[in-house]
Structure 1
Protein backbone atom coordinates (compact mmCIF):
# COMPACT_ATOMS: atom_id res chain seq x y z
CA UNK A 1 0.00 0.00 0.00
CA UNK A 2 1.40 3.39 -0.98
CA UNK A 3 1.52 6.03 1.76
CA UNK A 4 -0.52 8.92 0.40
CA UNK A 5 0.26 12.49 1.39
CA UNK A 6 -3.23 12.96 2.89
CA UNK A 7 -2.38 10.23 5.42
CA UNK A 8 0.54 12.17 6.91
CA UNK A 9 -1.55 14.42 9.15
CA UNK A 10 -3.69 11.46 10.22
CA UNK A 11 -0.59 9.43 11.14
CA UNK A 12 0.87 12.39 13.07
CA UNK A 13 -2.37 12.74 15.05
CA UNK A 14 -2.49 8.99 15.70
CA UNK A 15 1.16 8.80 16.83
CA UNK A 16 0.65 11.63 19.31
CA UNK A 17 -2.59 10.14 20.63
CA UNK A 18 -0.92 6.72 20.96
CA UNK A 19 2.00 8.22 22.87
CA UNK A 20 -0.24 10.16 25.26
CA UNK A 21 -3.04 7.56 25.36
CA UNK A 22 -5.25 10.62 25.34
CA UNK A 23 -6.87 12.57 22.50
CA UNK A 24 -7.03 15.83 24.47
CA UNK A 25 -3.29 15.78 25.29
CA UNK A 26 -2.49 14.98 21.66
CA UNK A 27 -4.68 17.88 20.56
CA UNK A 28 -2.81 20.24 22.89
CA UNK A 29 0.56 19.06 21.54
CA UNK A 30 -0.53 19.45 17.90
CA UNK A 31 -2.49 22.68 18.42
CA UNK A 32 -5.72 20.97 17.29
CA UNK A 33 -9.05 20.25 18.92
CA UNK A 34 -9.73 16.85 20.49
CA UNK A 35 -12.49 16.27 17.93
CA UNK A 36 -10.01 16.93 15.10
CA UNK A 37 -7.62 14.33 16.51
CA UNK A 38 -10.49 11.89 16.86
CA UNK A 39 -11.50 12.56 13.25
CA UNK A 40 -7.97 11.86 12.00
CA UNK A 41 -7.84 8.58 13.94
CA UNK A 42 -11.23 7.43 12.67
CA UNK A 43 -10.19 8.28 9.12
CA UNK A 44 -7.08 6.13 9.54
CA UNK A 45 -9.11 3.28 11.02
CA UNK A 46 -11.54 3.46 8.08
CA UNK A 47 -8.67 3.36 5.57
CA UNK A 48 -7.02 0.38 7.29
CA UNK A 49 -10.19 -1.46 8.20
CA UNK A 50 -9.05 -2.09 11.78
CA UNK A 51 -9.68 -0.51 15.17
CA UNK A 52 -6.60 1.27 16.49
CA UNK A 53 -8.01 2.33 19.85
CA UNK A 54 -10.46 0.92 22.32
CA UNK A 55 -12.77 3.70 23.51
CA UNK A 56 -14.05 3.51 27.07
CA UNK A 57 -15.31 5.84 29.77
CA UNK A 58 -11.84 6.53 31.19
CA UNK A 59 -10.35 7.37 27.79
CA UNK A 60 -8.68 5.27 25.11
CA UNK A 61 -6.15 2.44 24.92
CA UNK A 62 -4.36 0.89 21.97
CA UNK A 63 -5.51 -2.31 20.36
CA UNK A 64 -2.93 -4.89 19.27
CA UNK A 65 -3.10 -3.46 15.74
CA UNK A 66 -2.85 0.04 17.13
CA UNK A 67 0.27 -0.88 19.12
CA UNK A 68 1.86 -2.32 15.98
CA UNK A 69 1.18 0.83 13.98
CA UNK A 70 2.19 3.11 16.88
CA UNK A 71 5.60 1.43 17.16
CA UNK A 72 6.19 1.78 13.42
CA UNK A 73 4.96 5.41 13.33
CA UNK A 74 7.06 6.38 16.35
CA UNK A 75 10.18 4.79 14.84
CA UNK A 76 9.59 6.44 11.46
CA UNK A 77 9.02 9.89 12.98
CA UNK A 78 12.13 9.54 15.16
CA UNK A 79 14.20 8.54 12.11
CA UNK A 80 12.90 11.47 10.07
CA UNK A 81 13.54 13.81 13.00
CA UNK A 82 17.15 12.58 13.22
CA UNK A 83 17.68 13.06 9.48
CA UNK A 84 16.11 16.52 9.50
CA UNK A 85 18.19 17.56 12.51
CA UNK A 86 21.31 16.29 10.78
CA UNK A 87 20.49 18.21 7.62
CA UNK A 88 19.82 21.35 9.63
CA UNK A 89 23.05 20.96 11.63
CA UNK A 90 25.02 20.37 8.42
CA UNK A 91 23.62 23.57 6.93
CA UNK A 92 24.42 25.53 10.08
CA UNK A 93 27.95 24.09 10.07
CA UNK A 94 28.42 25.17 6.44
CA UNK A 95 27.41 28.69 7.45
CA UNK A 96 29.66 28.85 10.53
CA UNK A 97 33.12 30.43 10.37
CA UNK A 98 35.65 29.84 13.15
CA UNK A 99 38.20 32.62 13.50
CA UNK A 100 41.26 32.82 15.72
CA UNK A 101 42.57 36.32 16.25
CA UNK A 102 44.20 38.74 18.69
CA UNK A 103 42.24 39.97 21.69
CA UNK A 104 43.41 43.56 21.33
CA UNK A 105 42.55 43.75 17.62
CA UNK A 106 39.19 42.05 18.16
CA UNK A 107 38.13 44.45 20.91
CA UNK A 108 39.10 47.71 19.23
CA UNK A 109 39.14 47.04 15.48
CA UNK A 110 37.17 43.95 14.48
CA UNK A 111 34.09 44.02 16.71
CA UNK A 112 33.07 47.61 15.77
CA UNK A 113 33.06 46.52 12.11
CA UNK A 114 31.21 43.19 12.50
CA UNK A 115 27.69 44.69 12.21
CA UNK A 116 28.65 45.60 8.65
CA UNK A 117 29.53 41.96 7.93
CA UNK A 118 26.31 40.69 9.52
CA UNK A 119 24.27 43.08 7.40
CA UNK A 120 25.93 41.77 4.24
CA UNK A 121 25.86 38.08 5.27
CA UNK A 122 23.01 37.56 7.78
CA UNK A 123 23.09 33.75 7.41
CA UNK A 124 26.74 33.37 8.44
CA UNK A 125 27.57 32.63 12.09
CA UNK A 126 30.96 33.58 13.54
CA UNK A 127 32.94 31.90 16.32
CA UNK A 128 35.75 34.26 17.40
CA UNK A 129 38.53 32.81 19.54
CA UNK A 130 41.08 35.19 21.10
CA UNK A 131 43.49 32.71 22.67
CA UNK A 132 46.96 34.14 23.19
CA UNK A 133 48.68 30.92 22.10
CA UNK A 134 49.19 30.28 18.39
CA UNK A 135 46.32 28.05 17.30
CA UNK A 136 46.92 24.99 15.17
CA UNK A 137 44.73 24.78 12.10
CA UNK A 138 43.72 21.17 12.54
CA UNK A 139 40.59 19.41 11.28
CA UNK A 140 37.64 20.69 13.28
CA UNK A 141 39.63 23.74 14.40
CA UNK A 142 39.51 27.35 13.15
CA UNK A 143 38.92 28.07 9.46
CA UNK A 144 41.16 31.13 9.44
CA UNK A 145 43.00 33.55 11.64
CA UNK A 146 44.28 37.11 11.90
CA UNK A 147 47.92 37.16 13.00
CA UNK A 148 50.52 39.79 13.74
CA UNK A 149 53.91 39.11 12.22
CA UNK A 150 56.06 39.28 9.12
CA UNK A 151 53.62 37.36 6.92
CA UNK A 152 55.45 34.03 6.67
CA UNK A 153 54.11 30.99 8.51
CA UNK A 154 54.89 27.45 7.28
CA UNK A 155 51.87 25.75 5.75
CA UNK A 156 49.68 28.86 5.82
CA UNK A 157 48.46 31.14 3.06
CA UNK A 158 48.83 34.75 4.30
CA UNK A 159 47.08 37.86 2.93
CA UNK A 160 48.37 41.23 4.10
CA UNK A 161 45.61 43.03 5.99
CA UNK A 162 47.27 46.23 7.20
CA UNK A 163 50.41 47.71 8.71
CA UNK A 164 50.70 49.45 12.04
CA UNK A 165 52.70 52.10 13.89
CA UNK A 166 53.59 52.86 17.51
CA UNK A 167 53.31 56.17 19.36
CA UNK A 168 53.01 57.15 23.04
CA UNK A 169 49.64 57.84 24.69
CA UNK A 170 48.47 58.50 28.23
CA UNK A 171 45.41 59.47 30.19
CA UNK A 172 44.76 63.24 30.10
CA UNK A 173 44.62 63.07 33.92
CA UNK A 174 48.04 61.40 34.36
CA UNK A 175 50.19 63.28 36.87
CA UNK A 176 52.93 65.21 35.09
CA UNK A 177 51.38 65.04 31.63
CA UNK A 178 51.08 68.81 31.36
CA UNK A 179 54.86 69.08 31.57
CA UNK A 180 55.31 66.89 28.46
CA UNK A 181 56.10 69.15 25.51
CA UNK A 182 58.53 67.06 23.44
CA UNK A 183 59.55 63.44 23.02
CA UNK A 184 62.31 63.64 25.66
CA UNK A 185 59.72 64.64 28.28
CA UNK A 186 57.88 61.34 27.87
CA UNK A 187 60.81 59.65 29.66
CA UNK A 188 59.87 61.59 32.82
CA UNK A 189 56.58 59.67 33.07
CA UNK A 190 56.03 56.20 34.52
CA UNK A 191 55.95 53.84 31.54
CA UNK A 192 53.79 50.83 30.74
CA UNK A 193 55.06 48.01 28.53
CA UNK A 194 53.57 44.94 26.92
CA UNK A 195 55.37 41.93 25.48
CA UNK A 196 55.71 43.33 21.95
CA UNK A 197 59.07 42.91 20.29
CA UNK A 198 59.30 46.68 19.76
CA UNK A 199 59.18 48.77 22.90
CA UNK A 200 60.19 51.99 24.58
CA UNK A 201 63.90 51.67 23.82
CA UNK A 202 63.08 51.41 20.11
CA UNK A 203 60.73 54.37 20.22
CA UNK A 204 63.12 56.70 22.09
CA UNK A 205 65.85 55.73 19.62
CA UNK A 206 63.48 56.61 16.73
CA UNK A 207 62.68 59.89 18.50
CA UNK A 208 66.45 60.60 18.76
CA UNK A 209 66.30 60.70 22.56
CA UNK A 210 69.57 59.41 24.01
CA UNK A 211 70.61 58.52 27.54
CA UNK A 212 67.18 58.80 29.13
CA UNK A 213 66.55 56.69 32.23
CA UNK A 214 63.27 54.88 31.65
CA UNK A 215 60.89 54.02 34.47
CA UNK A 216 59.13 50.97 32.95
CA UNK A 217 56.95 50.47 35.98
CA UNK A 218 54.31 48.06 34.62
CA UNK A 219 54.44 45.22 32.10
CA UNK A 220 51.33 43.50 30.78
CA UNK A 221 51.19 40.41 28.60
CA UNK A 222 48.15 41.73 26.72
CA UNK A 223 48.09 44.98 24.74
CA UNK A 224 44.49 45.75 25.75
CA UNK A 225 45.40 45.45 29.43
CA UNK A 226 48.35 47.78 28.89
CA UNK A 227 46.07 50.37 27.26
CA UNK A 228 43.53 50.05 30.06
CA UNK A 229 46.34 50.53 32.55
CA UNK A 230 47.10 53.82 30.85
CA UNK A 231 43.42 54.79 30.93
CA UNK A 232 43.49 54.33 34.71
CA UNK A 233 46.52 56.59 35.08
CA UNK A 234 49.27 54.02 35.64
CA UNK A 235 51.52 55.71 33.11
CA UNK A 236 52.22 56.26 29.42
CA UNK A 237 52.04 53.36 26.98
CA UNK A 238 53.18 52.75 23.41
CA UNK A 239 49.96 52.28 21.49
CA UNK A 240 49.47 50.56 18.17
CA UNK A 241 47.74 52.92 15.78
CA UNK A 242 45.06 50.42 14.72
CA UNK A 243 44.20 49.54 18.32
CA UNK A 244 44.33 53.01 19.89
CA UNK A 245 41.63 54.58 17.67
CA UNK A 246 38.61 54.15 20.01
CA UNK A 247 40.63 55.24 23.07
CA UNK A 248 41.71 58.44 21.35
CA UNK A 249 38.29 59.07 19.82
CA UNK A 250 36.48 59.14 23.16
CA UNK A 251 39.25 60.99 25.01
CA UNK A 252 40.23 58.20 27.40
CA UNK A 253 43.79 58.58 26.07
CA UNK A 254 45.63 61.42 24.37
CA UNK A 255 48.63 61.25 22.07
CA UNK A 256 51.91 62.49 23.47
CA UNK A 257 54.63 64.38 21.54
CA UNK A 258 57.00 62.36 19.42
CA UNK A 259 57.13 60.41 16.16
CA UNK A 260 54.93 57.61 14.94
CA UNK A 261 57.25 54.61 14.57
CA UNK A 262 56.31 52.03 11.89
CA UNK A 263 56.22 48.53 13.30
CA UNK A 264 58.36 45.76 11.85
CA UNK A 265 55.27 43.58 11.67
CA UNK A 266 51.80 43.78 10.17
CA UNK A 267 48.42 42.07 10.39
CA UNK A 268 47.70 39.14 8.10
CA UNK A 269 44.69 36.95 7.37
CA UNK A 270 45.89 33.35 7.35
CA UNK A 271 44.45 29.90 6.65
CA UNK A 272 45.86 26.45 5.81
CA UNK A 273 47.44 26.39 2.36
CA UNK A 274 46.29 22.81 1.74
CA UNK A 275 42.64 23.41 2.65
CA UNK A 276 40.12 25.04 0.35
CA UNK A 277 38.08 27.67 2.16
CA UNK A 278 34.38 26.99 2.45
CA UNK A 279 32.14 29.68 0.86
CA UNK A 280 31.24 31.23 4.25
CA UNK A 281 34.91 31.51 5.26
CA UNK A 282 35.81 32.90 1.83
CA UNK A 283 33.09 35.54 2.23
CA UNK A 284 34.62 36.63 5.55
CA UNK A 285 38.14 36.78 4.09
CA UNK A 286 36.97 38.85 1.12
CA UNK A 287 35.09 41.18 3.46
CA UNK A 288 37.79 41.67 6.10
CA UNK A 289 40.50 42.41 3.53
CA UNK A 290 38.45 45.45 2.42
CA UNK A 291 38.07 46.84 5.96
CA UNK A 292 41.36 48.72 6.49
CA UNK A 293 40.16 51.41 4.11
CA UNK A 294 36.77 51.62 5.81
CA UNK A 295 36.03 53.66 8.97
CA UNK A 296 34.58 51.74 11.91
Structure 2
Protein backbone atom coordinates (compact mmCIF):
# COMPACT_ATOMS: atom_id res chain seq x y z
CA UNK A 1 0.00 0.00 0.00
CA UNK A 2 1.57 3.30 -1.08
CA UNK A 3 1.75 6.04 1.54
CA UNK A 4 -0.55 8.88 0.55
CA UNK A 5 0.13 12.49 1.46
CA UNK A 6 -3.11 12.76 3.46
CA UNK A 7 -1.78 10.12 5.86
CA UNK A 8 1.06 12.36 7.04
CA UNK A 9 -0.88 14.57 9.52
CA UNK A 10 -2.39 11.47 11.12
CA UNK A 11 1.00 9.76 11.35
CA UNK A 12 2.59 12.87 12.89
CA UNK A 13 -0.18 13.10 15.50
CA UNK A 14 0.10 9.38 16.26
CA UNK A 15 3.91 9.51 16.59
CA UNK A 16 3.70 12.41 19.08
CA UNK A 17 0.95 10.69 21.07
CA UNK A 18 2.99 7.47 21.14
CA UNK A 19 6.08 9.28 22.47
CA UNK A 20 4.15 11.11 25.19
CA UNK A 21 1.64 8.32 25.90
CA UNK A 22 -0.73 11.24 26.29
CA UNK A 23 -2.96 13.00 23.78
CA UNK A 24 -2.95 16.33 25.63
CA UNK A 25 0.85 16.53 25.73
CA UNK A 26 1.05 15.58 22.06
CA UNK A 27 -1.49 18.27 21.26
CA UNK A 28 0.58 20.88 23.10
CA UNK A 29 3.69 19.92 21.10
CA UNK A 30 1.82 20.04 17.78
CA UNK A 31 -0.19 23.17 18.63
CA UNK A 32 -3.45 21.23 18.25
CA UNK A 33 -6.29 20.34 20.58
CA UNK A 34 -6.40 16.98 22.32
CA UNK A 35 -9.59 16.16 20.44
CA UNK A 36 -7.83 16.87 17.11
CA UNK A 37 -5.03 14.46 18.02
CA UNK A 38 -7.59 11.86 19.05
CA UNK A 39 -9.40 12.37 15.75
CA UNK A 40 -6.19 11.83 13.75
CA UNK A 41 -5.42 8.63 15.68
CA UNK A 42 -8.92 7.21 15.23
CA UNK A 43 -8.77 8.03 11.51
CA UNK A 44 -5.47 6.13 11.28
CA UNK A 45 -6.88 3.17 13.21
CA UNK A 46 -9.93 3.10 10.94
CA UNK A 47 -7.81 3.04 7.79
CA UNK A 48 -5.50 0.35 9.13
CA UNK A 49 -8.25 -1.73 10.71
CA UNK A 50 -6.31 -2.17 13.99
CA UNK A 51 -6.26 -0.57 17.43
CA UNK A 52 -3.11 1.44 18.07
CA UNK A 53 -3.87 2.47 21.64
CA UNK A 54 -5.57 0.90 24.61
CA UNK A 55 -7.69 3.63 26.14
CA UNK A 56 -8.40 3.64 29.86
CA UNK A 57 -9.36 6.10 32.57
CA UNK A 58 -5.78 7.11 33.36
CA UNK A 59 -4.75 7.66 29.72
CA UNK A 60 -3.59 5.53 26.80
CA UNK A 61 -1.07 2.76 26.18
CA UNK A 62 0.27 1.38 22.91
CA UNK A 63 -0.98 -1.95 21.64
CA UNK A 64 1.59 -4.33 20.07
CA UNK A 65 0.51 -3.06 16.64
CA UNK A 66 0.78 0.50 17.92
CA UNK A 67 4.31 -0.13 19.20
CA UNK A 68 5.32 -1.54 15.82
CA UNK A 69 4.00 1.51 13.98
CA UNK A 70 5.40 3.94 16.60
CA UNK A 71 8.91 2.55 16.15
CA UNK A 72 8.70 2.86 12.35
CA UNK A 73 7.04 6.29 12.40
CA UNK A 74 9.49 7.65 14.97
CA UNK A 75 12.49 6.52 12.94
CA UNK A 76 11.07 7.81 9.67
CA UNK A 77 10.10 11.23 11.03
CA UNK A 78 13.46 11.58 12.78
CA UNK A 79 15.21 10.80 9.49
CA UNK A 80 13.11 13.38 7.64
CA UNK A 81 13.73 15.95 10.38
CA UNK A 82 17.47 15.29 10.16
CA UNK A 83 17.49 15.81 6.41
CA UNK A 84 15.45 18.99 6.73
CA UNK A 85 17.87 20.31 9.34
CA UNK A 86 20.91 19.50 7.21
CA UNK A 87 19.34 21.17 4.17
CA UNK A 88 18.51 24.25 6.20
CA UNK A 89 22.00 24.39 7.68
CA UNK A 90 23.52 23.89 4.23
CA UNK A 91 21.51 26.85 2.97
CA UNK A 92 22.57 28.96 5.95
CA UNK A 93 26.22 27.99 5.51
CA UNK A 94 26.00 28.79 1.82
CA UNK A 95 25.14 32.37 2.74
CA UNK A 96 27.57 32.64 5.68
CA UNK A 97 31.08 34.07 5.38
CA UNK A 98 33.55 33.34 8.17
CA UNK A 99 36.23 36.00 8.52
CA UNK A 100 39.33 36.14 10.69
CA UNK A 101 41.08 39.44 11.28
CA UNK A 102 42.80 41.63 13.87
CA UNK A 103 40.63 43.11 16.59
CA UNK A 104 42.07 46.57 15.99
CA UNK A 105 41.26 46.46 12.27
CA UNK A 106 37.77 45.07 12.83
CA UNK A 107 36.96 47.71 15.45
CA UNK A 108 38.22 50.81 13.67
CA UNK A 109 38.28 49.99 9.95
CA UNK A 110 35.99 47.08 9.09
CA UNK A 111 32.96 47.75 11.31
CA UNK A 112 32.39 51.35 10.12
CA UNK A 113 32.27 50.05 6.53
CA UNK A 114 30.12 46.94 7.06
CA UNK A 115 26.73 48.72 6.77
CA UNK A 116 27.59 49.41 3.12
CA UNK A 117 28.22 45.68 2.55
CA UNK A 118 25.02 44.76 4.41
CA UNK A 119 22.96 47.04 2.18
CA UNK A 120 24.47 45.52 -0.96
CA UNK A 121 24.24 41.90 0.26
CA UNK A 122 21.41 41.64 2.82
CA UNK A 123 21.22 37.82 2.52
CA UNK A 124 24.87 37.20 3.48
CA UNK A 125 25.63 36.40 7.13
CA UNK A 126 29.04 37.30 8.55
CA UNK A 127 30.97 35.64 11.37
CA UNK A 128 34.00 37.69 12.41
CA UNK A 129 36.73 36.12 14.55
CA UNK A 130 39.31 38.43 16.16
CA UNK A 131 41.26 35.93 18.24
CA UNK A 132 44.98 36.71 18.50
CA UNK A 133 46.05 33.21 17.42
CA UNK A 134 46.32 32.74 13.65
CA UNK A 135 43.37 30.77 12.32
CA UNK A 136 43.77 27.41 10.63
CA UNK A 137 42.20 27.43 7.18
CA UNK A 138 40.88 23.87 7.30
CA UNK A 139 37.40 22.70 6.28
CA UNK A 140 35.88 23.99 9.53
CA UNK A 141 37.94 27.18 9.56
CA UNK A 142 37.34 30.66 8.15
CA UNK A 143 36.66 31.43 4.50
CA UNK A 144 38.73 34.61 4.43
CA UNK A 145 41.27 36.41 6.54
CA UNK A 146 42.66 39.93 6.69
CA UNK A 147 46.29 39.82 7.79
CA UNK A 148 49.04 42.32 8.37
CA UNK A 149 52.34 41.19 6.93
CA UNK A 150 54.67 40.93 3.96
CA UNK A 151 52.02 39.38 1.72
CA UNK A 152 53.43 35.87 1.37
CA UNK A 153 52.05 32.96 3.40
CA UNK A 154 52.58 29.30 2.41
CA UNK A 155 49.44 27.70 0.99
CA UNK A 156 47.48 30.95 0.97
CA UNK A 157 46.40 33.25 -1.85
CA UNK A 158 46.79 36.91 -0.88
CA UNK A 159 45.32 40.11 -2.33
CA UNK A 160 46.81 43.48 -1.40
CA UNK A 161 44.29 45.69 0.41
CA UNK A 162 46.16 48.74 1.67
CA UNK A 163 49.51 50.00 2.87
CA UNK A 164 50.22 51.18 6.38
CA UNK A 165 52.14 53.99 8.07
CA UNK A 166 53.06 54.95 11.64
CA UNK A 167 53.05 58.30 13.45
CA UNK A 168 52.77 59.43 17.09
CA UNK A 169 49.52 60.52 18.74
CA UNK A 170 48.29 61.46 22.17
CA UNK A 171 45.24 62.93 23.87
CA UNK A 172 44.79 66.72 23.71
CA UNK A 173 44.44 66.46 27.51
CA UNK A 174 47.89 64.89 28.03
CA UNK A 175 49.86 67.09 30.46
CA UNK A 176 52.53 69.11 28.67
CA UNK A 177 51.32 68.30 25.15
CA UNK A 178 50.99 71.97 24.22
CA UNK A 179 54.75 72.44 24.68
CA UNK A 180 55.73 69.69 22.22
CA UNK A 181 56.85 71.25 18.93
CA UNK A 182 59.49 68.80 17.69
CA UNK A 183 59.88 64.99 17.60
CA UNK A 184 62.66 64.82 20.23
CA UNK A 185 60.30 66.21 22.89
CA UNK A 186 57.93 63.26 22.47
CA UNK A 187 60.51 61.09 24.25
CA UNK A 188 59.76 63.08 27.42
CA UNK A 189 56.20 61.72 27.47
CA UNK A 190 55.32 58.27 28.83
CA UNK A 191 55.51 56.05 25.75
CA UNK A 192 52.81 53.50 25.00
CA UNK A 193 53.75 50.45 22.92
CA UNK A 194 52.06 47.42 21.41
CA UNK A 195 53.47 44.13 20.14
CA UNK A 196 53.99 45.37 16.58
CA UNK A 197 57.25 44.54 14.81
CA UNK A 198 58.01 48.22 14.31
CA UNK A 199 58.02 50.50 17.30
CA UNK A 200 59.27 53.65 18.92
CA UNK A 201 62.97 53.01 18.26
CA UNK A 202 62.23 52.73 14.53
CA UNK A 203 60.13 55.89 14.49
CA UNK A 204 62.61 58.06 16.42
CA UNK A 205 65.36 56.87 14.08
CA UNK A 206 63.21 57.87 11.07
CA UNK A 207 62.58 61.24 12.77
CA UNK A 208 66.31 61.83 13.10
CA UNK A 209 66.28 61.61 16.89
CA UNK A 210 69.32 59.75 18.24
CA UNK A 211 70.90 59.17 21.63
CA UNK A 212 67.67 59.55 23.63
CA UNK A 213 66.78 56.98 26.24
CA UNK A 214 63.30 55.69 25.44
CA UNK A 215 61.05 54.40 28.20
CA UNK A 216 58.06 52.37 27.03
CA UNK A 217 56.03 52.70 30.19
CA UNK A 218 52.90 50.88 29.01
CA UNK A 219 52.75 47.90 26.66
CA UNK A 220 49.59 46.31 25.25
CA UNK A 221 49.14 43.23 23.10
CA UNK A 222 46.50 44.94 20.94
CA UNK A 223 46.82 48.23 19.06
CA UNK A 224 43.28 49.26 20.03
CA UNK A 225 44.16 49.11 23.72
CA UNK A 226 47.31 51.14 23.13
CA UNK A 227 45.32 53.84 21.35
CA UNK A 228 42.68 53.87 24.09
CA UNK A 229 45.42 54.25 26.69
CA UNK A 230 46.69 57.28 24.79
CA UNK A 231 43.14 58.64 24.48
CA UNK A 232 42.83 58.45 28.29
CA UNK A 233 45.91 60.62 28.65
CA UNK A 234 48.46 57.99 29.70
CA UNK A 235 51.02 59.14 27.16
CA UNK A 236 51.94 58.93 23.48
CA UNK A 237 51.19 55.94 21.25
CA UNK A 238 52.56 55.06 17.83
CA UNK A 239 49.42 54.93 15.71
CA UNK A 240 48.73 52.95 12.58
CA UNK A 241 47.32 55.15 9.85
CA UNK A 242 44.42 52.81 8.98
CA UNK A 243 43.50 52.17 12.62
CA UNK A 244 43.66 55.64 14.16
CA UNK A 245 41.25 57.51 11.85
CA UNK A 246 38.14 57.31 14.12
CA UNK A 247 40.14 58.56 17.13
CA UNK A 248 41.46 61.56 15.21
CA UNK A 249 38.04 62.42 13.79
CA UNK A 250 36.40 62.29 17.22
CA UNK A 251 39.12 64.43 18.80
CA UNK A 252 40.11 61.70 21.27
CA UNK A 253 43.62 61.79 19.84
CA UNK A 254 45.77 64.33 18.07
CA UNK A 255 48.83 63.86 15.89
CA UNK A 256 52.17 64.88 17.35
CA UNK A 257 55.06 66.53 15.43
CA UNK A 258 57.22 64.28 13.29
CA UNK A 259 57.18 62.23 10.11
CA UNK A 260 54.78 59.59 8.94
CA UNK A 261 56.90 56.43 8.76
CA UNK A 262 56.00 53.93 6.03
CA UNK A 263 55.38 50.52 7.60
CA UNK A 264 57.27 47.45 6.45
CA UNK A 265 54.05 45.45 6.23
CA UNK A 266 50.66 46.01 4.65
CA UNK A 267 47.15 44.55 4.91
CA UNK A 268 46.11 41.61 2.73
CA UNK A 269 42.97 39.57 2.18
CA UNK A 270 43.89 35.88 2.24
CA UNK A 271 42.29 32.47 1.72
CA UNK A 272 43.50 28.89 1.06
CA UNK A 273 45.07 28.54 -2.36
CA UNK A 274 43.54 25.07 -2.82
CA UNK A 275 39.99 26.17 -2.03
CA UNK A 276 37.61 27.81 -4.46
CA UNK A 277 35.70 30.58 -2.71
CA UNK A 278 31.95 30.11 -2.38
CA UNK A 279 29.86 32.88 -4.01
CA UNK A 280 29.15 34.62 -0.70
CA UNK A 281 32.84 34.68 0.25
CA UNK A 282 33.77 35.86 -3.24
CA UNK A 283 31.24 38.69 -2.91
CA UNK A 284 32.83 39.78 0.36
CA UNK A 285 36.34 39.63 -1.11
CA UNK A 286 35.27 41.65 -4.17
CA UNK A 287 33.70 44.22 -1.86
CA UNK A 288 36.89 44.45 0.23
CA UNK A 289 39.01 45.04 -2.85
CA UNK A 290 36.57 47.63 -4.21
CA UNK A 291 36.46 49.53 -0.92
CA UNK A 292 40.16 50.22 -1.05
CA UNK A 293 39.99 51.44 -4.65
CA UNK A 294 37.46 54.13 -3.80
TM-score by length of 2: 0.91
Aligned residue runs from structure 1 range 173-252, under 5 A:
173-252=173-252
C-alpha separation in 2, matches of 1:19 and 1:3: 22
User: How far apart, in 2, do the equivalents of 1:17 and 1:104 lie?
Assistant: 55
Q: Which residue is equivalent to 2:78?
A: 78
State the secondary structure of the residue aligned to 1:289: helix
Say if 2:146 is the partner of 1:107: no
Counterpart CA distance in 2 for 1:189 and 1:250 is 22
Tell me how far apart the structure 2 counterparts of residues 12 and 22 of structure 1 sit (CA, whole Å): 14
Counterpart position of 1:27:
27
* 2:280 matched residue in structure 1: 280
Distance 2:209 2:29 in 1: 78
Task: Provide the C-alpha distance between the structure 2 equivalents of 1:174 and 1:72, rounded to a whole number of angstroms.
Answer: 75
Cα distance in 1 for residues equivalent to 2:185 and 2:196: 23
Out of 66-75 and 3-12, give the one that drifted further: 66-75
CA distance in 1, matches of 2:10, 2:164: 66
- Give the Cα–Cα distance (whole angstroms) in 2 for the partners of residues 72 and 242 of structure 1: 62
Residue-by-residue CA offset, 1:65-115 (whole Å, 9 max, x unaligned): 222212211111111112222222233333332222112111211122223
Q: Distance in 1 between matches of 2:111 and 2:42?
A: 58
Residues in 1 aligned to 2:58 and 2:148: alpha-carbon distance in whole angstroms: 73
Residue-by-residue CA offset, 1:5-43 (whole Å, 9 max, x unaligned): 111111111112222222222222211122222221222
Q: Does 1:60 align with 2:32?
A: no
Residue aligned with 2:292, SS: helix
Q: Quote how far apart the aligned CAs of 1:212 are.
A: 4.0
Q: CA RMSD in A?
A: 2.1
Q: Secondary structure at the match of 1:119?
A: helix
Shift in CA distance, 64/221, structure 1 to aligned 2, threshold 3 Å = closer
Using the TM superposition, give the Cα deviation of residue 170 of structure 1 relative to its aligned residue in structure 2, in angstroms: 0.2
Q: Which moved more, 1:39-48 or 1:285-294?
A: 285-294
Q: 1:156, 1:13 → 2: CA distance?
A: 53
Q: Give the Cα–Cα distance (whole angstroms) in 2 for the partners of residues 157 and 3 of structure 1.
A: 52
> TM-score, length-normalised on structure 1?
0.90
Q: Secondary structure at the match of 1:277?
A: coil
Aligned residues: 294
Aligned to 1:127: 127
| Structure 1 residues 147-162: aligned runs within 5 Å | 147-162=147-162
**Could you say if the C-alpha distance between residues 202 and 31 of structure 1 is closer, same or farther in structure 2, counting changes exceeding 3 Å?**
same
Separation of aligned partners in 2, 1:175 and 1:222: 24
CA distance 1:134–1:15, shift in 2 (3 Å): closer
For residues 119 and 211 of structure 1, the distance between their equivalents in structure 2, rounded to whole angstroms, comes to 53
